[in-house]
Structure 1
């Protein structure tokens, strides 16, 4: 009987110790899993916007309907020099698809900051004011201004100063475009200027005699003229470029201020595409002069334009 009791006690002790050992091992396993989960969560949180886009394979792009920078073609697809450059850059970064969303020019940066887009690209001019609300990639292109008037140029408009000096001249400008500020700087009165959502609408204003002149970048107006009624409109060939800050303009994509990692990765890939000639090829394919409209790597930086040094 005594032997039986000793045997039972021994077996009970073994069972208890085994149970305790199992609990310790289990606790250790849970602790390791939690640590791994926390590390994974921390790692995921630090990866940033670029990793998020690479994982999804899609970047959401806001653009304004302004040919040849960014515009919607007849097939509904997003086209233009700025778009083609952005597509090439994002492919270098491992993001193959672009979800394009058409927007009024004046709503691009507000939409960017509201989280509607990952990037906006329409050859947008870098300006100190815009730099307060978005961060820009390095300039991809440089361009000047232009004018389109009623056929025959009945009011003899060849400069912004001509508009300012004649209070009867009516101007139609795309909403949110830098030209609104340029006109104001040269003395054009606010009551002379009306805005429209896109370039076709500004052309329509001149054609219907609701405006005498419209202004935009030279390339935009030249291309728009190719599909317009030249019996009603005329491109001002001898236009005098305004001698004001911001002309010429340096165009670049804009990113949310929180997405510096994405902007920096974009810049790195962009530099490679500038150096191997891809950017010049894409500009030329969209009607730009690769000699006068391209910006060599390091020639002008976004920071120098934002600070006013090259504005």
Structure 2
């Protein structure tokens, strides 16, 4: 009787295990990848911050260099519609990982810290830094070190922007930094006298100042680029770390569009220089994430 009972238990266990295995296989076969999901929908949702010329919205249309590159890549993947979701810059990564959007396309700089939280595509563009000051530059600020050397100087910087780390690396005290939500707020801080300067990526602050038509401010033409890790910056699209199929497919098409000159043309169409802002093929996301690209 005991043998019969034991045999019955073993048989039932084997049936249960087989059933579980069958269900797992069915799930594996039936599940679709993120790339398949987007292709089927024909639409991808991207998070962006309002920052010209990388990504911005104008008359209801999503524009900018990073946006145009992403649109071209997704089109090659068979995904025609790109829907933009405006977000504050420092909320892009958390929004991506919360599933609010499928990708980030904001010209976001690849940084080792960010690489821990998102999967960056290969670099799409490179860029330097810029400084905006009061008209006439009364404090003669030409570098981040100039700000650091005068503890009475304050600088307004967009929350979440890489410049927060850059200025501190150059010696600027955290107490000298005013955190603001966006570029217009940083200009307002300087124009009103609440801050002495503001900084951001070169093209961003230069274009924003031209659009603002603010006679109280000026772009520092002879700004000295900091010699630190992260400068120049390399901008790229970003994805959730477990969406490897989407990342790989995006990188494959991006490489083709770089090689046939499309990416260079799109940079030119968005106020960048195809020669000065394109990325050398030897520069990879892996080398930027590791910091290797900045080693002498």
2:207 corresponds, among 223, 228, 234, to 223
Q: Which residue of 2 aligns with 1:283?
A: 267
Partner of 1:99: 83
Q: Does 1:49 align with 2:30?
A: no
Tell me if 1:70 matches 2:55.
yes
Q: Deviations over 1:264-290 (max 9, x none)?
A: 100000001001110000000000011
Local SS of the residue matching 1:204: helix
The answer for the alignment partner of 1:165 in structure 2 is 149
CA distance in 1, matches of 2:54, 2:182: 13
The answer to whether structure 1 residue 131 and structure 2 residue 115 are counterparts is yes
- How far apart are the structure 2 equivalents of 1:101 and 1:274? 26
Q: Which of the two has higher C-alpha Rg? A: 1
Matched residue SS, 1:85: helix
Alignment check: 8 A CA contact 1:151 1:230 kept: no
Q: Could you state the TM-score of these two structures normalised by the residue count of structure 2? A: 0.89
CA distance in 2, matches of 1:38, 1:139: 37
For 1:103 and 1:299, how far apart are their aligned partners in 2? 32
Q: What does residue 74 of structure 2 align with?
A: 90
Match of 1:204 among 188, 200, 207: 188
- 8 Å contact kept, 1:145–1:217: yes
How many residue pairs are counted as aligned between the two chains? Answer: 274
Q: C-alpha deviations, 1:4-29, integer Å up to 9, x for none?
A: xxxxxxxxxxxxxxxxxxxxxxxxxx
- Once the two structures are superposed, residues 194-227 of structure 1 have per-residue CA deviations (whole angstroms, 9 ceiling, x without a partner) of 1111111111111111111000011111111211
Distance 1:190 1:37, change over 3 A: closer
Answer yes or no: is 1:113 the counterpart of 2:79. Answer: no
TM-score by length of 1: 0.85
For the pair 1:192 / 2:176, whether they are aligned, the reply is: yes
Task: Give 1:61's aligned residue.
Answer: 46
**Structure 2 gap segments, 5+ residues each:** 1-21
Aligned to 1:32: none
Q: Give 3-state SS (helix, strand or coil) of 1:61's partner.
A: strand
Residues 60-114 of structure 1 deviation map (CA, whole Å, 9 limit, x = unaligned): 10001110001121x0221100000000000000111111100011110011111
The answer to whether the 8 A contact 1:206-1:214 is kept is yes
Q: Which residue of structure 2 lines up, in the alignment, with residue 302 of structure 1?
A: 285
- Residue 245 of structure 1 corresponds to which residue in structure 2? 229
Alignment partner, residue 122 of structure 1: 106
CA distance in 1, matches of 2:289, 2:189: 33
The answer to whether the 8 A contact 1:127-1:305 is kept is yes
Residue 40 of structure 1 and its aligned partner are, at CA, apart by 6.4
- Structure 2 Cα separation of the partners of residues 203 and 40 of structure 1: 57
Q: Tell me the residue number matched to 2:16.
A: none
Q: Which deviates more from structure 2 when the two are superposed, residues 225-234 or residues 49-58?
A: 225-234
